[in-house]
Chain A
Amino acid sequence: MSLVIQGGHLIDPANRVNGEKNLYIDDNGFVVGVGKSPPGFKARITVKAQGKIVCPGLVDLRARLREPGLEYKATIESEVHAAVAAGITTLCCPPDTLPVIDTPAMAQMLQSRAWRFGLAFIHPLGALTQRLEGKLLADMEALDEAGCVGFTNALSPVTDTLVMRRALEYAATLDLTVFLHAEDPWLRNGGCVHEGEIGTRLGLPGIPEAAETVGVARDLALIEQTGCRAHFCGLSSARAAAMVAAAQKKGLPVSADTTAHHLHLTEHDIGDFNTLCHVRPPLRGRHDREGLRKALANGIISAICSDHQPHEPDAKLAPFARSEPGISALETLLPLTLRLVDEKLLTLEEAIARLTHQPAQIIGVETGHLGLGATADICIFDPEARWTLIEDRLVSRGHNTPFLGQTFHGQVTHTLVGGKLVYESPPA
């Protein structure tokens, strides 16, 4: 269905576009005109975007959809609806589903389930080791063929350093990207909050900063030796960000992301055992949040992800350490990132780049930009609209977010996937 997005302010960081431009999309869902209409183009649908920002659909490097295995928390169907309502058109799904994504069949099943709904694209991350046990390598080539965009052991540590070395070597052989959650499991030692002021006050077992820095140091040494391309997921400390910065300066092929909540919250937000702030890696001190923000502004951290983890209410109704970690975060990804623009940390163009083009580059997927010929995955939002996050308006099945009741700037009005309008905000 040919379509024109009219009168919007187009921001496409990959192509250095930042200005008022119409966008023309053909019947097959590709961008065929930027700014000027291709000859003979006839739009059957016109989307009026005056006063709105038109940008590539967001690319989220880490979202757990809970299917298969934990469908009582959420399903692919429920979460892809939430994704497009939040302007997210591409999602990466970690392999720690039940069963684990360590076979091509699992990888294909996930993609075909998502495709059935025709909403957001799902790109699975394949298991680095079989059943994520950290012992035997997974069939990376077959998983790559089946559509996995990267390989990771998710939150299960590969404790055997030799296995980690082999995994990186093997991934390097096939030119694959490994996604690392760097954490020393012995130093984590069952902790559930940052080892610092709040953990001490509340008597909660802490995860020291060194759990992350020791993990990053080990992995960087192996990356340097193997030459494997690696991506550090969800950095939480200023020191770890500085270590990644030094590695990048040295020329190592490493990138990094952090989550939107680590850029806004600290251990202090846990207050009196607020289990909604129980996340892994933990929220750290103010100094760490500032360090992460600085690394984001400098481009050392090149992507912001949601690390979406929807839960049923009971998962958070337990004493803090027994509650399940994670935030339902798809629907706050864009608004929290726009808050960084309000706070003058990033320009709007940089903010959009960290949510679109840059994460797309990390997974090597041809999306996240709106040049001629690109697939028309598009997010349109009203940057001035103010709205308050209330439970009733969450589309995700998971309502576990510490941002309930907060007011945000910027609201998604339309989402297009493959040139098809898949979401339109309800009239105010």
Chain B
Amino acid sequence: MNQGLQFDDTGRLRHLLTIEGLSRQTILEILDTAESFISVGQREIKKIPLLRGKTVVNLFFEFSTRTRTTFEIAAKRLSADVINLSVGTSSTAKGETLLDTIRNLEAMHTDLFVVRHGESGAAHMIARHVPPHVRIINAGDGRHAHPTQGLLDMFTIRRHKGDFGKLKVAIVGDILHSRVARSQIHALKALGVDELRVVAPKTLLPTAVEKLGVIPCSRMEDGLDGVDVVMMLRLQRERMQGAHIPSEHEYFNLFGLTPVKLALAAKDAIVLHPGPMNRGLEIDSAVADGPQSVILPQVTYGIAVRMAVMALIMGGSPGRREETHPVAASRARAVVTTRKRK
């Protein structure tokens, strides 16, 4: 369904709007490329000239520190020129439409827009209306998708757990309002995990969520039992206002990830969180800072994954790499440690 918009006529990834519709092969391609970029961040000179002369605009209609910063670092490591725009407070407040904002920036010859917007479908709408040479990466749209977060979570899981086919995974928290959860679900389904559960009170589970191929659970005991990966979500503190939960205290008691609840999972289970964390609300500090947590590595991997996505859509062709391909060529230079995969 998304194929039309995300891919060009030859099947190359043109925009990254959502993980839904990406093949297993395409996702692995991105993860493999990201592996090759990990080393760039470890070098003395953290730059490769892949996107030299290209202009990347980080267009954020919603406040963000982490995502915007990692996109900025990723683009700079690829030698692109980066401009950060927080539009929430400027032109849209003056009544300019979203499309007018994009058209204006386009007239400044931008090659790639990284877009975050509070409305689901904003990135799709923009992608539909930009000329063919302009690329869009969705950095989060409403409750819909946050594909680079989903991809960096997959990268993290693969690094620490390996083969997806054997894994039982639980996503815990505010599934209803979470774009991260939707992207994780599509990615994990495409990669063929053994079992995927979503755990939340019924007030925070979307209707018909099982149609996405997940098993809904409303008790941590059922949700965490024997899982290899626990993916926590951030809970907005204002959810009490919509009568979704009674209090932070009760939420933490029932759904907060404590060492006791984590003990229900497999012994070597890992814990992920997209950040920023609410310690004492959805996660206990003892877990967040504990040995099973991979929350900080997630941030490091996020840069490599975002570099990979940018490199691939700006010049790459997942699935049909050639030796002369810019990514392949740079990889030949940049790769220091590439993990062997089957």
Binding site for B on A (CB under 8 A): 195-197, 199-206, 208, 271-273, 275, 314, 317-322
Contacts and interface: CB of A to CB of B under 8 A. Distances in A.
B83 interface: no
Given A197-B211, A200-B211, A272-B1, A319 B121 contact: yes
B279 interface: no
19 contacts: A195-B207, A199-B207, A200-B209, A202-B144, A203-B141, A203-B142, A203-B143, A203-B145, A204-B142, A205-B143, A271-B1, A272-B5, A273-B120, A273-B121, A273-B124, A317-B99, A317-B129, A319-B142, A321-B142
A203 B2 CA distance: 15
Contacts of A196: 207-208
Contacts of B145: 203
A319 B179 CA distance: 15
B212 A201 contact: yes
Contacts of B99: 317-318
A319 B5 contact: no
A275 B1 CA distance: 16
A149 B143 CA distance: 43
Query: In this complex, which of A205, A273, A275, A322 has the most chain B Cβ atoms within 10 angstroms of its Cβ?
Result: A273
A203 B209 CA distance: 11
Contacts of B208: 196-197, 200
B234 interface: no
Contact of B125 (A197, A200, A201, A318): A318
B277 to A, nearest CB: 22
Contacts of B98: 318-319
Contacts of A275: 125
Contact of B122 (A206, A271, A319): A319
Nearest to A317: B99
A266 to B, nearest CB: 13
A203 B207 contact: no
A387 B211 CA distance: 37
Contacts of B97: 314, 317-318
A273 B179 contact: no
Contact of B121 (A195, A200, A204): A204
B121 A320 contact: yes
B206 interface: yes
B119 A322 contact: yes
Contacts of A271: 1
Nearest to B142: A203
B207 A320 contact: no
Query: In this complex, which of A203, A204, A208, A314 has the most chain B Cβ atoms within 10 angstroms of its Cβ?
Result: A203
Contacts of B141: 203, 319
B129 to A, nearest CB: 7
B182 interface: yes
B143 A204 contact: yes
Contact of B206 (A199, A314, A318): A199
A196 B1 CA distance: 18
A236 B139 CA distance: 35
A203 to B, nearest CB: 3
Contacts of A208: 207
A200 B212 contact: yes
A245 to B, nearest CB: 25
Contacts of B125: 273, 275, 317-320
A317 B98 CA distance: 9
B167 to A, nearest CB: 23
B20 interface: yes
Contacts of B5: 272
B134 to A, nearest CB: 17
Contacts of B14: none
Contacts of A204: 120-121, 142-144
Contacts of B1: 271-272
A137 to B, nearest CB: 33
